[in-house]
Amino acid sequence: MTSRLFTARLLPSLIAAAALAGMAGAAHAAPKHKPHATARKPAAPAEPATTTDANGRSVPLLANKAWVLMDFDSGQVLASSNGDEPLPPASLTKMMTSYLVEQGLKSGKLKPTEPVTMSLSAWCRGGKDGDSCMFVPLNAQASLMDMLRGVVIDSGNDASKALAEHIGGSESGFAAMMNAEAAKLGMTHTHFENSAGLPDPNHKASARDLAVLAQAIIRNSAEYYPIYSEREFTYNGIKQGNRNALLYTDPTVDGLKTGHTDEAGFCLTASAKRNGMRLISVIMNANSAQARADQTRVLFNWGYANFEQATPAKAGATLGTAKVLYGVVPTVAAGVGQTWTLLAPKGKAAAIQTAVTFNPGLTAPIAKGAVIGKVVATADGKPVGEAPIVALAAVERAGFFQRIGQRISGWFSK
């Protein structure tokens, strides 16, 4: 057995040990008290460093190149640093690979048991050059679901490439699919060149875009999302552990993906859910695996300590009345299409105020559910989110003579 395979077998234990190292180190490093000495009170843990953002808020100061903290339900970015800067994403790329597989399964285009072949171009040569591998033998086949776990849990470059070739015909063909899906999701600062996240000058993604991708996985691939919280996966007799250390230390964390290359540094996209409130964090280019986990903890603790859920509007409630030109009725009630939730500063949820703005020159016919404006929510006079306003009823176009009458009436009203 190669040293790489030996390491792979021990990886679950190594990750769990590393995740708990801070606690264990503190316990072993504590000096023994001398007889009859007065016991000292343990020192309080150091408070995370903070800085002031553009809105005058105190936010975490983290030693990395970029980070984002997002509310899952609304997509609201609670705070960020260089959130739109395209950076090497390393294996965070594999979230798009797994997402396309999951959507293919969901649509029925792919089957869980269909065989996927490990080609020579995808094959991991015994873990040389530091590759992350699932270790499927050359020319062997594994089920599509096993390959999916090999991507999500093992972070296997071999599994990613094999799936790319299986679905896209070639890795370049699959990359085109990745970029098309990124555009569909609104990932405007992202471009993929390969399925695994291997270094390439043109292969970049922003922290905000990766948070959007994580949101899509949790929402649109809900039946497959539990895979991201699985701590280990055994294939071909080789047991490997999930590299997301927070899965071992924080029961509220249930995903998503780690990444690391020399160029990208240590990266982590994670999600946590506490008391019904789900947050997504992205860390890019931290200086160690421990740092990316610690920084993610800081972001989650800061987010849950400083924000609470608010419901500015419920589905079907009338928030305003819009004037309609040339309709059988002169106005239409407007509201949100579905109950609107967002996060407000702690203690401000009950004081949220809303202001509605309608699109100018609304003209019949207007379909029920058509977007006709927007509503902005504010707390202490500062915007905290916005949502589209839709027509709560249809408005048919008036007949010819009624429209003429309305036009003449409009001239006189001016």
Which residue in the list 94, 161, 204, 257 is annotated as catalytic? 94
Tens of pLDDT, residue by residue over 172-198, are 999 999 999 999 999 999 999 999 999
DSSP label of 226: G
Tens of pLDDT, residue by residue over 316-349, are 999 999 999 888 999 999 999 999 999 999 999 9
For range 393-404, the mean pLDDT: 77
Closest CA to 146 of 227, 243, 258, 248: 227
Tens of pLDDT, residue by residue over 71-123, are 999 999 999 999 999 999 999 999 999 999 999 999 999 999 999 999 999 99
Is the Cβ–Cβ distance between 224 and 151 less than 8 Å?
Answer: no
Residue 113, phi then psi, degrees to nearest 5? -95, 0
For range 34-50, the mean pLDDT: 49
* The CATH number, out of the four listed (3.40.30.10, 2.60.410.10, 3.90.1150.180, 3.40.50.720), of the domain defined by the range 314-413: 2.60.410.10
Is the Cβ–Cβ distance between 92 and 263 less than 8 Å?
Answer: no
For range 1-18, the mean pLDDT: 45
Compute the distance between CA of residue 243 and CA of residue 153 in angstroms, rounded to an integer. Answer: 7
* The CATH number, out of the four listed (3.40.50.1580, 3.40.710.10, 1.10.1140.10, 3.40.47.10), of the domain defined by the range 3-22+50-307: 3.40.710.10
pLDDT band of residue 400 (cuts 50, 70, 90) is: low
For range 361-372, the mean pLDDT: 94
Q: Is 229 a catalytic residue?
A: no
Q: Is 323 a catalytic residue?
A: no
Which residue in the list 74, 98, 132, 155 is annotated as catalytic? 155
pLDDT band of residue 56 (cuts 50, 70, 90) is: confident
Q: Is the pLDDT of residue 13 over 80?
A: no
Q: Is 94 a catalytic residue?
A: yes
Q: Which two tokens stand for residue 138?
A: 């050359």
Mean pLDDT over the full length of the chain: 87
Which residue in the list 74, 80, 81, 91 is annotated as catalytic? 91
DSSP string, 105-158: HHHTSS-TT-EEE--TTT---TTGGG-----PPTT-EEEHHHHHHHHHTT--HH
User: Which single residue is written with the structure tokens 């490990």?
Assistant: 118
Specify the pLDDT at position 40.
Answer: 43
Specify the pLDDT at position 3.
Answer: 41
Closest CA to 49 of 304, 291, 345: 291
User: Which single residue is written with the structure tokens 């296997």?
Assistant: 156
Domain ranges of the chain: 3-22+50-307, 314-413
Whole-model pTM? 0.83
